Amino acid sequence: MSRQLSECVFVAGHKGMVGSAIVRHLQALGYTNIVTRDRAQLNLLDQHSVATFFAENKIEQVYMAAAKVGGIHANNTYPAEFIYENLMMQANIVHAAHQHDVQKMLFLGSSCIYPIKVRQPMAEEALLTGVLEPTNEPYAIAKIAGIKLCESYNRQYGRDYRSAMPTNLYGPNDNFHPENSHVIPALLRRFHDAVVQDVAEVIIWGSGSPMREFLHVDDMAGASVHIMELDQEQYGAHTQPMLSHINVGTGEDCTIHELAQTIAKVTGFKGRLSFDATKPDGAPRKLMDVSRLELLGWRATISLEDGLRDAYAWFSENALHARSR
């Protein structure tokens, strides 16, 4: 493991769920030179602005946690935004980092990069072996492009740009919009509102039968820094130049119905659960094969119920300010 606590580390997307967790984790480890910029200070969609930022700051490591993210509804409604904004942010940061001699980067992707019909659990080798889930294909294409950007700059220029592909994430600083967010924050918000408003029934999108894996964002932050700090020899022994991404997850999944029951327990909802099967389910099952990461010395530690309690506690304390686009 290689840890240089004085190196200048740029965390892109530090106000988001993943970026803020990475900043917290780096600070806890003793990193002393963490650089952040919000959207008003640095427009990651603007190539010139990003290049100027790297020219003015002696960045030595980059965590690429900035992304346009959302659930099924948001991906279906704003597909152009999802592919354009993610492609542009990734390309701008990777190219500017290379031009200004930044050697180390961690790009954060998503489990949606894998085909809809793929052997479970999903191993890294499944990438580009089949058709993607239609509901978030533009986002997935952008994330695949991000992996290939990193690999291409590694192959052509000798950079050390790594990629981590997390399963479904949740936790503090998530987007808690009841429709435009991912399943856990959306359900936490809706169950919370149902309790406050004394509603007798909560209706959940889909049949409730799909199986999903969920990872608390603090675990994701720990895995991200672990991957970044791996010695090149150790990292290279478990990856290939054109198959270099690493899955990050718990290795365990549950049905959406089981998830809803746990969220009802955490929020104190006593009413009925109903499922709207006219709404799309997405893939029937998505479970990560995390054996590569375990071989590299990392494993998740936060249970789903404990993580949900933490996420709900954060939402309860920050409900008026929680992001809700």
Q: What is the pLDDT of residue 177?
A: 76
Residues 222-246: pLDDT tens digits?
A: 999 999 999 999 999 999 999 999 9
Residues 138-156: pLDDT tens digits?
A: 999 999 999 999 999 999 9
Number of domains the chain is built from: 1
Q: At 92, which CATH number?
A: 3.40.50.720
Q: What's the DSSP call for residue 188?
A: H
In a domain? residue 279: no
Angle between helices 17-29 and 217-229 (to 10 degrees): 60
Q: Quick check: helix, strand or coil at residue 3?
A: coil
In a domain? residue 115: yes
Is the model more confident about 305 or about 1? 305
CA dist., res. 176 & res. 231, Å (int): 37
> Which domain covers residue 109, as residue numbers?
9-173+214-251+286-302
Q: Are 288 and 121 in contact (CB under 8 A)?
A: yes
Residue type, 53: F
CA dist., res. 297 & res. 255, Å (int): 28
CA dist., res. 239 & res. 188, Å (int): 37
Q: Which two tokens stand for residue 100?
A: 């200004």
In a domain? residue 73: yes
Instruction: Give the model's confidence band at 325: pLDDT under 50 very low, under 70 low, under 90 confident, else very high.
Output: very low
In a domain? residue 314: no
Q: Are 91 and 66 in contact (CB under 8 A)?
A: no
In terms of phi and psi (left: phi > 0; alpha: psi -120 to 50; beta: otherwise), the region of 159 is beta
Residues 28-53: pLDDT tens digits?
A: 999 999 999 999 999 999 999 999 99
Other beta carbons within 10 angstroms of residue 277's beta carbon come to 12
In a domain? residue 190: no
In a domain? residue 237: yes
CA dist., res. 206 & res. 257, Å (int): 10
In a domain? residue 225: yes
Task: Return contacts of 120-124, CB within 8 angstroms, 24+ apart.
Answer: 120/285, 120/286, 120/287, 121/251, 121/287, 121/288, 121/289, 121/290, 122/247, 122/286, 122/287, 122/288, 122/289, 123/247, 123/289, 123/291, 123/292, 124/165, 124/243, 124/245, 124/246, 124/247, 124/289, 124/292
Maximum Cα–Cα distance for the chain, whole Å? 60
pLDDT at position 168 over 80: yes
Closest CA to 204 of 277, 269, 136, 311: 277
In a domain? residue 218: yes
CA dist., res. 246 & res. 224, Å (int): 10
| Count, residues in the chain | 325
Mean pLDDT of the chain: 94
Residues with catalytic roles:
139
**Does the predicted TM-score (pTM) go above 0.75?**
yes
Which residues have a Cβ under 8 Å from the Cβ of 279 and sit 6 or more positions away? 205, 206
